[in-house]
A and B are shown apart, each in its own frame.
Chain A
Amino acid sequence: MTVHRLCRRIIPLVSVICLFLCGIVSYAEEPTYSLKIKFITESGPATDAPFEVYYAMTPDGTLAEDFAERGIDVGSLTDAENVSRLASTLASYVESGVGEPVASGSSNALGETDFEELTAGIYLIVGSVTPIGDLLYTPKPALVRVPDSSSDVVTVDVKYDVEQVEKKISRTVKKVWDDGDSKERPQSVEIQLFKDGELFETVVLSEDNGWTYTWDELSASSDWSVIEKSVPENYTVSVTLDGETFVVLNKGKTEIVSPSPSPSVSPSVSPSSSPSPDTPTPTTDSGISGESSKPPKLPQTGQLWYPVPILLVLGLVLFMTGFISDRLSDDDEKK
């Protein structure tokens, strides 16, 4: 009974204390707000565009701890031009590693990125370059006051810069030998890649790299061409472009002639040229070529079989003739 009485007195007391504490906590908790970033471009909503939000200033316009004491000129926060300049300045500091984002996220299919539970203040919005089609959209950094005067959910339409994506292409060079596996074939050759007529890079082709090399990430707006730096002695060279591949054909000469004084220049390729998927036809090459005494010929795809029966038959005939002749002379001597 005593316990029962005690409980009846204590439970209401504990309840009152709990309610009191809850009231204190809820009073102490700061109100929070939401921020919606809209990244809508002329090409449509930018999806998967990453954004970071930094607490830049207190509601009264004082720079946050991360940015204070850096000599940043805050200026007037009612002057749009000044606010834009300030946002760029703060974004530069962020780029250099100053400050930590209070929130980050990526835009959804509608081009919207939502941030919740932001305390009152002025926030810096920083986005990243987002490609859409052949265009690159760079969001401009922005400062936004949360909450604004009209709503607890602040909506910002991001401004952006647009630039054309520079198209990249690949070019491959392949060395083809037409010399019947000559022992005179060099171990390696040097190939020079030219960009708009100026030497861009020199590479070495050999058995080790399968006599081929690929350059990636080349500007499509430039003209690319290759030459063989020095044509191997007793070989002629021709260079053709087959789709994305430069085929450098070295033909062995049947007669010893002095090597070409200067390497031949490949056809250059402009971005508008349509690639042909044809594979190289080295023997039919009509590109710039050195002196050659042989007309173009289909690949020699045969083994040397025809001498075998000739040698065997002739050998057998000679052997038998010799054998019979020996026997006959032996018989004559015995007689």
Chain B
Amino acid sequence: MALGLLMIGAGIGIAAHNLYEDSLAASSSADVLSQFNEQRNELIESVKPSATPSLPAGVTVEEEQEEEAFDPNAPLPTITVDGYDYIGTVVIPPLEIELPVADTWDYVRLKISPCLYKGSPYRNDLIICAHNYMTHFRNIKNLQPGDDVIFTDAAGNEFRYKVEKVEILDPYDIEKMETSGYDLTLFTCTLGGKSRVTVRCRRADE
């Protein structure tokens, strides 16, 4: 009976620790997000032209947009918040989440926000990883094909994606994770932590 009580106590203890970590991550990422958005808005305001320039004769709007194509090798702009660099924000409307994305991953950063695992939105091979906290990527397994995902970089450039599929990968299946050919990949651990829930997306704005 005592052993049973001990096990129940241990189970409750682990659950409480996880929930505490979850709430800590929620407040950390919300705090970073608010500072990040504030700085990004200031940055966008500072570079915004005072008046919309008229197009030169013979140049159509499409041509103007083509000129703004991103250099695939350009480094991602970053904004520093609390000593860490962030490359942008990821918004997943069906899950009602908006989170900052750190410029590289390690286990300290992952406790704050999703992190860039590899790639770039400019090359259409962006991969973002995050903990399976309730407020982070816990529910990405519930995304459906056609759902929207939006990544906005630190300069305010918006990249819109549509979910194409959700798959489960082995944690050692690095090659499959990195060379999928998808424009955006989001991944996190399954609840058991043994596998990786992987969401594959394609650009919706091209």
Could you tell me the distance between the alpha carbons of A211 and B106 in the complex, rounded to whole angstroms? Answer: 11
> Other than the known A274-B73, A316-B8, what 18 A-B pairs have Cβ atoms closer than 8 Å?
A177-B108, A277-B122, A279-B116, A279-B119, A283-B174, A284-B178, A298-B172, A298-B187, A301-B132, A303-B21, A305-B191, A312-B11, A315-B4, A315-B9, A315-B11, A316-B4, A319-B5, A322-B4
Is B37 an interface residue when CB atoms closer than 8 A count as contact? no
CB <8 Å contact, B116 and A300: no
Shortest B15–chain A CB gap in Å is 5
The answer to whether A243 and B1 touch (CB under 8 A), given A303-B131, A304-B193, is no
Query: Chain B interface (Cβ within 8 Å of chain A)?
Result: 1-12, 14-15, 18, 21-22, 73-76, 83-84, 103-108, 110, 116-120, 122-123, 129-133, 137, 169, 171-174, 177-178, 187-194, 196
CB <8 Å contact, B192 and A305: yes
Shortest A278–chain B CB gap in Å is 6
CB <8 Å contact, A304 and B14: yes
Shortest B35–chain A CB gap in Å is 15
CB <8 Å contact, B75 and A301: no
The answer to whether A299 and B110 touch (CB under 8 A), given A210-B83, A278-B118, A306-B192, is yes
Residue of B nearest to A243 (CB): B75
Residue of A nearest to B137 (CB): A301
CB <8 Å contact, B131 and A301: yes
* List of A residues within 8 angstroms of B11 by Cβ: 307-312, 315
CB <8 Å contact, A279 and B2: no
CB <8 Å contact, B130 and A301: yes
* List of B residues within 8 angstroms of A276 by Cβ: 73
* List of B residues within 8 angstroms of A307 by Cβ: 10-11, 14
* List of B residues within 8 angstroms of A202 by Cβ: none
Q: Which of A181, A244, A278, A314 contacts B107 (CB 8 A)?
A: A181
Could you tell me the distance between the alpha carbons of A174 and B12 in the complex, rounded to whole angstroms? Answer: 38
CB <8 Å contact, B73 and A303: no
Q: Which of A211, A247, A312 contacts B8 (CB 8 A)?
A: A312
Total A-B pairs, Cβ < 8 A: 165
CB <8 Å contact, A304 and B8: no
* List of B residues within 8 angstroms of A277 by Cβ: 73-76, 120, 122-123
Could you tell me the distance between the alpha carbons of A316 and B192 in the complex, rounded to whole angstroms? Answer: 21
CB <8 Å contact, A303 and B133: yes
* List of B residues within 8 angstroms of A306 by Cβ: 191-194
For A85-120 the 0/1 string (1 means CB < 8 A from B) is 000000000000000000000000000000000000
* List of B residues within 8 angstroms of A247 by Cβ: 104
Residue of A nearest to B107 (CB): A181
Could you tell me the distance between the alpha carbons of A322 and B10 in the complex, rounded to whole angstroms? Answer: 18
The answer to whether A314 and B7 touch (CB under 8 A), given A284-B174, A319-B1, is yes
Is A68 an interface residue when CB atoms closer than 8 A count as contact? no
Could you tell me the distance between the alpha carbons of A318 and B187 in the complex, rounded to whole angstroms? Answer: 38
Could you tell me the distance between the alpha carbons of A122 and B161 in the complex, rounded to whole angstroms? Answer: 71
A-B contact pairs, 30 of them (CB 8 A): A178-B106, A210-B83, A277-B74, A277-B120, A279-B116, A280-B105, A283-B174, A295-B172, A298-B171, A298-B172, A300-B193, A301-B137, A302-B189, A302-B190, A303-B18, A304-B18, A304-B193, A305-B191, A306-B191, A308-B18, A311-B7, A311-B10, A312-B12, A315-B4, A315-B8, A318-B1, A319-B5, A320-B4, A323-B1, A326-B1
* List of A residues within 8 angstroms of B132 by Cβ: 301-303
* List of A residues within 8 angstroms of B196 by Cβ: 298, 301
